[in-house]
Amino acid sequence: MTNIPHVVILGGGFGGLASANELRNSLSSSQLKITIIDKKDWFMVGFAKLWIINGTRTFENSVGSLNNLGKKEITFIKEEILSIDPKTKNIKTNSQTISYDYLIISMGAVLAPEKIPGLKEHGFNLYDHDHLSQIHEKLMSIKSGKIAISIMGMPYKCPPAPFEASLLIDAMLRKRGVRDSIQIDFYSPAPITLPAAGPDVSKKILELVNSEQIVFHNSSKIKSVEPHKLIFENSQTDFDLLLAIPPHIAPKVIYDSGLAKESGFILINRDCKTKFENVFAIGDVTSLPVTESMAVPKAGIFAEGEGITVAKNIISKILSKEEEVYFDGKGGCFLESGRDTASVIEVNMFSNPKPTTNLTESNEDNLVKKQQFEKERLSNWL
Ligand X SMILES: Cc1cc2nc3c(=O)[nH]c(=O)nc-3n(C[C@H](O)[C@H](O)[C@H](O)COP(=O)(O)OP(=O)(O)OC[C@H]3O[C@@H](n4cnc5c(N)ncnc54)[C@H](O)[C@@H]3O)c2cc1C
Residues making contact with ligand X (CB under 6 A): 11-16, 37-40, 46-47, 49-50, 80-81, 106-108, 127, 157-158, 161, 251, 253, 283-285, 298-301, 303, 333-334
Select 230 or 272, whichever has its Cβ closest to ligand X: 272
User: Distance (Å, rounded) from C-alpha 12 to C-alpha 76?
Assistant: 9
Are residues 168 and 336 in contact, defined by beta-carbon separation less than 8 angstroms?
A: yes
User: Which strand (E) or helix (H) includes residue 203?
Assistant: helix 198-211
Select 65 or 319, whichever has its Cβ closest to ligand X: 65
Phi, psi of 268 (to 5 degrees): -130, 170
Residue nearest to ligand X (CB): 13
* Region for residue 40 given its phi and psi (left: phi exceeds 0; alpha: psi -120 to 50; beta: otherwise): beta
In sequence order, which residues have a C-beta less than 8 Å from that of residue 289 and are 6 or more positions away?
A: 267, 295
Select 39 or 228, whichever has its Cβ closest to ligand X: 39
Closest contact distance (angstroms) between CB of 319 and ligand X is 25
Closest contact distance (angstroms) between CB of 335 and ligand X is 8
Select 262 or 322, whichever has its Cβ closest to ligand X: 262
Cα within 13 Å of Cα(337), Cβ side: 21
Bridge-partner residues for 186, per DSSP? 149, 216
Select 228 or 346, whichever has its Cβ closest to ligand X: 346
Select 7 or 107, whichever has its Cβ closest to ligand X: 107
User: Distance (Å, rounded) from C-alpha 326 to C-alpha 347?
Assistant: 17
User: Distance (Å, rounded) from C-alpha 302 to C-alpha 380?
Assistant: 17
Rg for the chain, CA atoms, rounded:
21
Closest contact distance (angstroms) between CB of 177 and ligand X is 26
Phi, psi of 325 (to 5 degrees): -110, 160
Select 78 or 228, whichever has its Cβ closest to ligand X: 78
Closest contact distance (angstroms) between CB of 1 and ligand X is 31
Closest contact distance (angstroms) between CB of 353 and ligand X is 25
Closest contact distance (angstroms) between CB of 167 and ligand X is 13
Secondary structure (DSSP) of 320-338: T---------EEEEEEE-S
Q: Which amino acid is at 238?
A: D
Closest contact distance (angstroms) between CB of 216 and ligand X is 18
Residue 229, burial from CB neighbour count under 10 angstroms (0-12, 13-18, 19+): middle
Closest contact distance (angstroms) between CB of 258 and ligand X is 16
Select 99 or 219, whichever has its Cβ closest to ligand X: 99
